[in-house]
Amino acid sequence: MSSVRKIQLTGGSTYIVSLPSKWVKKNNLVRSSEIKIDEEKDKLILYGNMDVKTEINKTLTLNTQLDNKSLERTLISLYISGFDTLAIRSFNYINDEIRATIKKFSKLVIGIEIFEEDSKKIVLQNVLNSSSYPVYNSIKRMSLNVESMIYDVIKGIDEDDAELLKNVINRDDEIDRFQWYIYREVKSKGNDDNNIFYLLLSRILERIADHAVNLCDIWTNRKLIIEIPSSKMVENLTYSLDLFKRAIALFYARKYIGLNDIISTKKNIMTQKKELLGLGNSSDIATVSSSSEEISRIGLYSTDIAELAMDMVLSMNNEITL
């Protein structure tokens, strides 16, 4: 429920606004009660006595034989759910393999450090103040990393540089780190109107990064050294990169003009894919077919960013001129 209150000036320099009486009574507040105020961009968030944030302490007890993948997935879910401290306990000794998985996780995510450790317990602590690293900064870093990955895939294919392509694969973990952090922050601060768009964008960026990695896998694992239409692949991927850069720029600028131009390129992307497939022959069709699919996906996801930007821009404005 929302209400409109007028700001008043008292004492010549102090601005005050009245609080809704129902909210005051609901939170058992009286004259001289203290409330907490958080500032987030252009918003002030008030916390009554019952709503002041307290430490979130969670415990994970390992009483079954978990494989490393299951444990890592569980830790990621707990990270997204949000905690200040996470105590990981075991009735038996925590073996070296489990311990290594927990330590790998603490390095994989943003803001988590090992605070305490003994033979049967490891305590993780969130050491990052999220107000100093807002979601907007995270999504910007994430998109810049994705752009860099696509650029290096283009260069790696064009120059047949296997080491550069392997480097791109190794950078995929950084994309996951940002996405999990954004998931966690959006969950805890869902009141920001833009957070839903940042969340959706992070998912698109993660998928684009996956397709870039898939391209690297295709080109580094080729069993045959054969002539393939790499120049056409570079041309198509460069086109997709250009779409990505234009879409992401308009997303951050929150501008409507130009978005429809990007969205309307879907037909061009599919035409380019068919043209590339037509250049393959029986000896290289697997590489060409797989590569064309990954390249077209990057282009189509770029148009999705433009559509998301349009959703955001139109949701922010009550008066639209086309």
Read off the CATH number of the domain in which 74 is found.
3.30.110.20
Encode pLDDT of 132-142 as tens digits. Answer: 788 889 999 99
Interacting residues of 282 by C-beta distance below 8 A, sequence separation 6+:
none
Asked whether residue 165 falls in the same domain as residue 282, the answer is yes
pLDDT of residue 67: 84
Contact 245, 147 (CB under 8 A): yes
Contact 112, 83 (CB under 8 A): no
Q: What is the mean pLDDT of residues 60-67?
A: 83
How would residue 56 be classed by pLDDT, with cut points 50, 70 and 90? confident
> Which domain-ending residue is among 126, 161, 178?
126
Indicate the average pLDDT of the chain: 87
pLDDT of residue 91: 86
Encode pLDDT of 226-281 as tens digits. Answer: 667 888 999 999 999 999 999 999 999 998 999 999 999 999 999 999 998 888 66
Asked whether residue 28 falls in the same domain as residue 151, the answer is no
Please tell me the distance from the alpha carbon of residue 69 to that of residue 30, in angstroms, as a whole number.
Answer: 51
Residue with tokens 């480097």: 167
How would residue 152 be classed by pLDDT, with cut points 50, 70 and 90? very high
pLDDT of residue 11: 63
Asked whether residue 225 falls in the same domain as residue 263, the answer is yes
Asked whether residue 198 falls in the same domain as residue 117, the answer is no
Contact 185, 239 (CB under 8 A): no
pTM of the model: 0.79
> Which domain-ending residue is among 81, 103, 126?
126
> Does 3 fall in a domain?
no
> Does 98 fall in a domain?
yes
> Does 138 fall in a domain?
yes
What is the domain extent for residue 13?
8-47
pLDDT of residue 30: 75
Q: What is the DSSP string of 83-138?
A: -SEEEEEESS---HHHHHHHHHHHHHSSSEEEEEEETTEEEEEE---GGGS-HHHH
pLDDT of residue 320: 67
> Does 2 fall in a domain?
no
Closest C-alpha to 313, from 139, 194, 205: 194
Asked whether residue 150 falls in the same domain as residue 255, the answer is yes
Write the CATH number for 292.
1.20.58.220
> Residue 208 to residues 122, 149, 162, 275: CA-CA distances in angstroms?
35, 10, 20, 22
